[in-house]
Amino acid sequence: MPVRVVESRQNARLKELRKALAASGREGRGRVGIEGPNLIEEALGAGVRVVTVFVADGAERLLDALPLPVETEILRLPRKLLDSALATETPQPVAALVEPPDWTWAHLFSSHRSGAALVIVLAAIQDPGNLGTILRSAEAFGATGVVSLPGTVSAWNAKAVRASAGSVFRVPLLAASERECFAQLHEAGVRVLATTVRAAQPADLVDMAGPVALVIGNEGNGVPEKIARMADEAITIPCPGTVESLNAAVAASVLLYEASRQRSAGSGGPSDHRGARR
């Protein structure tokens, strides 16, 4: 496939890459910037359209292993010029502009993997590393989708994309208001469980084998009270140690594991607690 040489910082595609990687969020429009051959390969494997690939002089061999469509635009440029557009401290010699998936509510409620909807709702998660880790755990434990509420960092933040290790391309993900989110969940028959530290049922005593949504709150303040009141139940992770709460990504991962365990056992909650554990 043809390779075009770029030597100017003012190149339109390079400016688009720089802007995409520097942005803290994305409002559902435009292309996303990603760095490194591994993420590009993950995007291609997920069926994501890779519009433009940027490769530094001398690193063209890295493209040999990538199944790039013939229509993909490839730009070769000096390493320093590419580095100037990238967001990491130690930039890789390959980057790309991609068009992220266009997910719908129907994708989130699909039961083809776990047998019942398992949705993560992110309430004001601010650390992109946490968000990316949650996406990775969501895919690992069979979640059917993730909903991002207002105040949550974009999943297309460059750090979040890297932390997801490619899961951001495969896990159905929507941004929605609280009102829309809870209306859609309840209409689909999904029980909403808000995570709290106090006055809540322990996770292993709550039935998560059926359709459920787990609301994960802000790293510092937890689930906002307004959102917690909209949930059907409160759920917690018992911690015998002295810490007050868990990191948001850790809490989400533990709850996703418990939901996955219950689903593998065929039922959840108090009725199978002893049998499943012993």
Q: Which DSSP string do the residues of 238-256 spell out, in sequence order?
A: ---SS-S---HHHHHHHHH
- 72 Cα distance to chain centroid: 25
CB atoms within 10 A of CB 184: 18
The answer on 133 and 212 residing in a single domain is: yes
Residue 12, domain extent: 3-99
Query: Shortest CA distance to 121 belongs to which of 206, 213, 221?
Result: 213
Q: How confident is the model at residue 219 (pLDDT cuts 50, 70, 90)?
A: confident
**% of the chain residues with pLDDT over 70:** 92
The answer on 118 and 95 residing in a single domain is: no
- 86 Cα distance to chain centroid: 21
Query: Shortest CA distance to 169 belongs to which of 25, 55, 49, 16?
Result: 49
- The token pair at 192 is 């909403």
Which of 81-85, 106-110, 189-193, 273-277 shows the lowest mean pLDDT across its residues? 273-277
The answer on 66 and 30 residing in a single domain is: yes
The answer on 193 and 69 residing in a single domain is: no
The answer on 252 and 138 residing in a single domain is: yes
The answer on 254 and 141 residing in a single domain is: yes
* Single residue among 80, 99, 118 that ends a domain in this structure: 99
Q: What pLDDT shows up at residue 111? A: 57
The CATH code of the domain that includes 235 is: 3.40.1280.10
Residue range 13-57, pLDDT digits in tens = 999 999 998 875 544 458 999 999 999 999 999 999 999 999 999
Query: Shortest CA distance to 198 belongs to which of 243, 234, 154?
Result: 234
Pick 105 or 243 by higher pLDDT. 105
Interacting residues of 75 by C-beta distance below 8 A, sequence separation 6+? 3, 4, 5, 6, 11, 13, 14, 52, 53, 54, 55
The answer on 127 and 70 residing in a single domain is: no
Q: Does the structure show a pLDDT above 70 at 1?
A: no
Name residue 74's beta-bridge partners.
Answer: 3, 53
The CATH code of the domain that includes 34 is: 3.30.1330.30
Query: Shortest CA distance to 5 belongs to which of 60, 44, 49, 43?
Result: 60
The answer on 83 and 29 residing in a single domain is: yes
Q: What pLDDT shows up at residue 275? A: 39
SS3 191: strand
The answer on 252 and 193 residing in a single domain is: yes
Which of 42-51, 167-176, 189-198, 204-213 shows the lowest mean pLDDT across its residues? 189-198
Q: Would you give the DSSP letter of residue 203? A: G
* Single residue among 99, 127, 162 that ends a domain in this structure: 99
Angle CA 100–145–243, to nearest 5: 115
Q: What pLDDT shows up at residue 267? A: 62
The answer on 31 and 152 residing in a single domain is: no
Average pLDDT across the chain, whole number = 90
The answer on 162 and 88 residing in a single domain is: no
Instruction: Using a cut of 0.85, tell me whether the model's pTM lies above it.
Output: yes
* Single residue among 54, 77, 99 that ends a domain in this structure: 99
Q: How many structural domains are present in the chain?
A: 2
Query: What's the rounded mean pLDDT across residues 146-175?
Result: 95
Q: What pLDDT shows up at residue 244? A: 73
Q: How confident is the model at residue 278 (pLDDT cuts 50, 70, 90)?
A: very low
Nearest-angstrom CA–CA distance, 92 and 277: 46
Asked if residue 152 lies in contact with residue 131, where contact means CB atoms within 8 angstroms, the answer is yes
The answer on 238 and 160 residing in a single domain is: yes
Nearest-angstrom CA–CA distance, 248 and 13: 36
SS3 216: strand
Asked if residue 170 lies in contact with residue 139, where contact means CB atoms within 8 angstroms, the answer is yes
